[in-house]
Structure 1
């Protein structure tokens, strides 16, 4: 997978200060290709862009002045995201300003895009990936305890080749364990997506059969918007 080249550094600087203007609602995107919107042929940045648009359309003055800072990168792993939120000044300053943080991470640690499923890869990497997730949550909380953080849970793109259900079991196991890691934090939530892609995957997936297409991303965005209501 790509190693993160092409990062969009739409970020505030230290000179901007740590707080938003009173009338600005700031969204920050973190993580991997699912939050970047890979597979969305419309160019609307996948579910994150759709969430921004959905909020903008609401008759709510808090969303009159929306800003989004995009840090999601194709191929990013939990270790790379942890390093980013701990050490990259632009990312940290954006997090401090955020009202809403949208993120996905973990899929690149645990799965490979291939014609075969590999439960052994998941089993070998789960513990370290979960430790990184825990540290990411702790870091986000330290930077900005008031931001609403939405972790978009993993789905199973391997249904057609996962005849024994081994990967589905591990996807559900991962989401459960990450959900447990969110429990200590009032403003960190896992939003489940597993059920959104259980049927008719050809309709909701892009040509790589791994990332959602614009229709699939729309389903994720709708669920997040429902939660935010």
Structure 2
């Protein structure tokens, strides 16, 4: 208890000092009851649970899923709005016989690996849904590699750029991916982490078909990053869009359409069950 001599100065009689102390103590107590401190606010919004809040989905009674990353995880290009995430949730329930709960889908259109790394570093609100999950779905990297192409197309260009420009983005983006995985594991070391690899959305464009080599280089980097994590799975999908890619790419000629997302979901389910 803080000594009263440090809080109050005796300005009058002993009776007056006692009265002031009583009033001050009452006000202090009311402040604790009525004012929520920042620490209390954080605890109220995101209660910290024990290690069992994550865990391995295969041993859990309920599968709890958090999805994060870019527009692929958001489902952009699928007119039904399902993307691959909702199909994975439904199929997991069917295959395992367990209830499946989506905690949150935190995906953001246009997100790069560096931007996701920054979000995980600065946005503490992401920690709770990641910590609660026993299955984490992640896509990232496509915007890092293909943003120059997309920007050229938005400016009215043909999008025909030097493949070396795409390859030049890989080292820094891979460093960001490594940092993203590290931060996710600092929050939740036990959940199964599913990273879906990249594909070449411009395979039907002869000038950009060579971009598949850059995509494969990225996928190799991702495999190396995830290879030391025994609870991580890299799901390759590049081959799904090599043949008949026009059948599985949306009208924006970048994202999968509904059929494309279904194929991605099927590949993820094959990897998990």
User: Does the residue aligned with 1:15 lie in a helix, a strand or coil?
Assistant: coil
Task: Name 1:214's counterpart in structure 2.
Answer: 258
Return the alpha-carbon distance in structure 1 between the equivalents of residues 229 and 46 of structure 2: 27
Task: Name 2:72's counterpart in structure 1.
Answer: 34
Query: What is the CA distance between 1:148 and its match in structure 2?
Result: 0.7
Match 2:91 to one of 54, 77, 85? 54
Which 5+ residue runs of structure 1 have no aligned equivalent?
1-11
Task: Name 2:219's counterpart in structure 1.
Answer: 175
Which 5+ residue runs of structure 2 have no aligned equivalent?
1-43, 55-59
Tell me which protein shows more helix as a share of its residues. 2
Q: Pairwise CA RMSD of aligned residues? A: 2.1
* Aligned pairs (5 A) from 1:9-88: 13-15=45-47, 17=49, 19=53, 23-44=61-82, 46-60=83-97, 63-88=98-123
Q: Which 4+ stretches in 1 moved above 6 angstroms?
A: none
TM-score w.r.t. length of structure 2 = 0.73
Return the alpha-carbon distance in structure 2 between the equivalents of residues 122 and 131 of structure 1: 16
Task: Name 1:135's counterpart in structure 2.
Answer: 179
Return the alpha-carbon distance in structure 2 between the equivalents of residues 59 and 26 of structure 1: 13
CA 1:83–1:57 in 2, change beyond 3 Å: closer, same or farther? same
Return the alpha-carbon distance in structure 2 between the equivalents of residues 68 and 216 of structure 1: 24
CA 1:164–1:136 in 2, change beyond 3 Å: closer, same or farther? closer
Q: Does 1:98 align with 2:141?
A: no
Q: Deviations over 1:23-66 (max 9, x none)?
A: 5421111110011000111122x011110111122352xx3242
User: Does the residue aligned with 2:254 lie in a helix, a strand or coil?
Assistant: coil
CA 1:59–1:132 in 2, change beyond 3 Å: closer, same or farther? closer
Return the alpha-carbon distance in structure 2 between the equivalents of residues 59 and 124 of structure 1: 42
User: Does the residue aligned with 1:38 lie in a helix, a strand or coil?
Assistant: coil
Count matched residues: 215
CA 1:87–1:127 in 2, change beyond 3 Å: closer, same or farther? same
CA 1:16–1:65 in 2, change beyond 3 Å: closer, same or farther? farther
**Contact 2:195/2:234 (8 A) holds in 1:** yes
Return the alpha-carbon distance in structure 2 between the equivalents of residues 165 and 216 of structure 1: 19
**Contact 1:27/1:99 (8 A) holds in 2:** yes
Whichever of the two has the greater Rg, that structure is 2
Return the alpha-carbon distance in structure 2 between the equivalents of residues 40 and 97 of structure 1: 28
Q: Deviations over 1:79-135 (max 9, x none)?
A: 111112223122111111111111111111111333324323323321110100011
User: Does the residue aligned with 1:39 lie in a helix, a strand or coil?
Assistant: coil
CA 1:145–1:15 in 2, change beyond 3 Å: closer, same or farther? closer
Return the alpha-carbon distance in structure 1 between the equivalents of residues 270 and 216 of structure 2: 22
Return the alpha-carbon distance in structure 2 between the equivalents of residues 82 and 164 of structure 1: 28
